[in-house]
Amino acid sequence: TEKSVHLAVDLGASSGRVIAGWLDGGKLSLEEVHRFANDPVLIQDSLQWNVHSLWAEIREGLRVAAGKYQAIRSVGVDTWGVDYVLIDRNGQLAGPVRNYRDSRTQGMLSRACERMGGGEAGRAAIFAATGLQFMEINTLYQLFAAAEHGERSLEIADHFLMMGDFFHWLLSGKRSIEATNASTTQMVDPATGQWQTSMLEQLGIPTRLFEPTVQPGTILGPVQASVAEATGLKDVPVVVPATHDTGSAVISVPVDDFAPEQPSWCYISSGTWSLMGCELASPRVNEVCSQLNFTNEGGVAGSTRLLKNIGGLWIFQQLRKSVQRQGSDVSWEQMVQQASEASEFELLLDPDHRAFVAPQDMLTAIKAFASETGQPVPESNGAFYRAALEGLALRYRVCLGDLETLVGSRIETIHIVGGGTMNALLCQMTADACNRTVVAGPVEATAIGNLVMQMIGTEVIKSDADLSATIRMARGIVRESFAVQTYQPENPDRWDGPAARFVELAGHGASA
């Protein structure tokens, strides 16, 4: 067909897809071209991403797209945050590409704080420099671990790229570091977007690796000859979206607003992680934010994504893997059905507990957690699935209170976007636990946000005003194009008792 198509490559921590999108009569249409699993591999004792397979799948998706659409206007990649690739001076991978759940970062957060002035003072210095939530998965602690362990890759590397940048480089031959994903590293000043080089020096991380960042919408140039040959994508420009998947997802929250002073809505980008927060005009690098351990990530058009990383559907996903390990399988729909049949609040889980970050087997880890916290171990699988979802809804409730404290206004509406919108039980639990209206959709928010930025970069979507007005316009297109599902709270009081127990439980737990 002759429609003018853009291609979004969207790599989540659990799966990847290539999605085609085009505008027609003011509406955005999507077509999924290719979908594939993204399973990390354990090599010796190091957990790594299979970038070779991901690159093969991306190329396959582009090949299928090139055969399907005659007019492809651009292509761009977004991925999960915090992970990186090191390239040596010959343009080769300098070492393996680690998964953020790899165990080498254990203890590195506290060790880095020690190095930065000791305990609380070190932590305060890192927060003042970066405004980010403290998590051991952050790039900062990964690179610090590499430096502390004397990893050779760090010595021979010439360039640092994040995952999206890496695939853009493979596609176009051009190196760039995109700003929204760089903001997830805990190595960037949230006010200026510059690398915090003196902090990096103090931590022994070589600063020569880091080039200045580029903004979403940047056109890198056409796909390189070898890629054009392999895929059939000739003269198609690579356009940088918000390469952080959450940055892309937030673009397509269907509101008539952009980075408000007094937000009345928040978002939950719901997938492997749940990223819950507000879009603001400027970062909140203050004592309360540090205490509540929220993050100030960079959004498009100079906005800030003030949010909390919550261990999202990861536990639910891993429970499915446990069932598969036992030799059977269960679909997401069946899991949700079984969870809905289980009785309420049988077992309380803290989705952010350290025990759930990377256990060998999630079912076993939850059973151990139940015993350690003096709770009866449930019998049915459905009870475990339900506990994973209730734990999330309870975490959202706590997070909502913290968010309101931070932004100083009441949040009326919670917008859920991403794969988790397919889980109606979780959406209803969220409305109930938080006692707020939940608006769920669109499901492919990340790919849509990716496409929108490409369309803005190539001036398919444009306005006479500034970028923030153009994003508002794009949000209008998203609202016109995708239906949402609304959930109203039902019997929210039922959640008060469990919420009190949850706070107690999470307070005692070693949160990751």
Residues that bind ligand ADP (CB under 6 A): 12-15, 271-272, 313, 316-317, 332-333, 336, 418-420, 422-423
The alpha helices in 252-380, defined as continuous H runs, are 287-292, 314-325, 332-341, 362-372
With CB cut-offs between 5 and 8 Å by kind, which of ligand LRH, ligand ADP, none does residue 365 bind?
A: none
Using CB under 6 A as the criterion, what x/- string covers residues 79-108 for binding ligand LRH? -xxx-----------------x--------
The residue among 248 and 481 lying less far from ligand LRH, judged by its C-beta, is: 248
Query: Smallest distance from the beta carbon of 138 to ligand LRH, in angstroms?
Result: 8
Closer residue to ligand ADP (CB): 220 or 358: 358
390 binds ligand LRH, rule: CB under 6 A: no
CA dist 459 and 467 (Å) reads: 11
CB neighbour burial string for 244-274, b if at least 16 within 10 angstroms, e if fewer:
bbbbbbbbbbbbeebbbeebebbbbbbbbbb
- Indicate which of ligand LRH, ligand ADP, none lies near residue 275 (CB less than 5 to 8 Å, by partner kind): ligand LRH
- Encode 420-440 in three state secondary structure: HHHCHHHHHHHHHHHCCEEEE
Per the DSSP assignment, residues forming a β-bridge with 89 are none
Q: Which does 452 bind (CB under 5 to 8 A by kind): ligand LRH, ligand ADP, none?
A: none
Q: Name the minimum Å distance from CB 494 to ligand LRH.
A: 30
How many C-alpha atoms does 209 have within 13 Å on its Cβ side?
A: 25
Nearer to ligand ADP, 13 or 505 (CB): 13
| 10 in active site | no
**Rounded least distance, CB 271 to ligand LRH, Å:** 6
Q: Which among ligand ADP, ligand LRH, none contacts residue 246 (Cβ within 5 to 8 A by kind)?
A: ligand LRH
Q: Tell whether residue 13 is a contact of ligand LRH (CB under 6 A).
A: yes
Give the shortest CB-239-to-ligand ADP separation in angstroms. Answer: 21
Residue 336 interaction partner, one of ligand ADP, ligand LRH, none, beta carbon < 5-8 Å per kind: ligand ADP
Nearest by Cα to 268 from 392, 132, 158: 392
The item of ligand ADP, ligand LRH, none sharing an interface with residue 161, based on CB under 5 to 8 Å by kind, is: none
Indicate the residue among 23 and 77 with the shorter CB distance to ligand LRH.
77
Residue 243 engages ligand LRH in binding (rule: CB under 6 A): no
Max CA pair span of the chain: 63
User: What are the strands, taking DSSP E only, across 61-143?
Assistant: 71-79, 84-88
Distance CA 157, CA 285 (A): 32
- Count of beta carbons in the 10 Å neighbourhood of residue 374: 7
Coil, helix or strand for 371? helix
Closest distance of CB 320 from ligand ADP, Å: 8
8 Å CB contact between 436 and 266: no
Distance CA 501, CA 192 (A): 41
Least distance CB 357 / ligand LRH (angstroms): 12
Q: Are 395 and 351 in contact (CB under 8 A)?
A: yes
Q: Which of 10, 78, 245, 352 is catalytic?
A: 245
Residues 282-321 within binding reach of ligand LRH (CB under 6 A): 309
**Choices 45-53, 240-248, 253-261, 318-326 (CB under 6 A): range interacting with ligand LRH:** 240-248
Total residues contacting ligand LRH (rule CB under 6 A)?
A: 16
Q: Give the contacts of 393 (CB within 8 A, at least 6 positions apart).
A: 426, 429, 430, 432, 433, 434, 495
Binding flag, residue 184, ligand LRH (CB under 6 A): yes
The span from the first CA to the last CA of the chain, in angstroms, equals 50
Picked from ligand ADP, ligand LRH, none, the partner binding residue 252 (CB below 5 to 8 A depending on kind) is none
- Please identify, using beta-carbon distances, which residue of 151 and 178 lies nearer to ligand ADP: 178
Question: CA 471 to CA 480: how far, in whole Å?
Answer: 14
Q: Does 356 bind ligand LRH (CB under 6 A)?
A: no
Q: How far is CA 122 from the centre of its chain?
A: 27
Kindly list the residues in this chain that would bind ligand LRH in the complex (CB under 6 A).
Answer: 12-13, 80-82, 100, 137, 184, 244-246, 271-273, 275, 309
Q: Which residues are catalytic?
A: 245
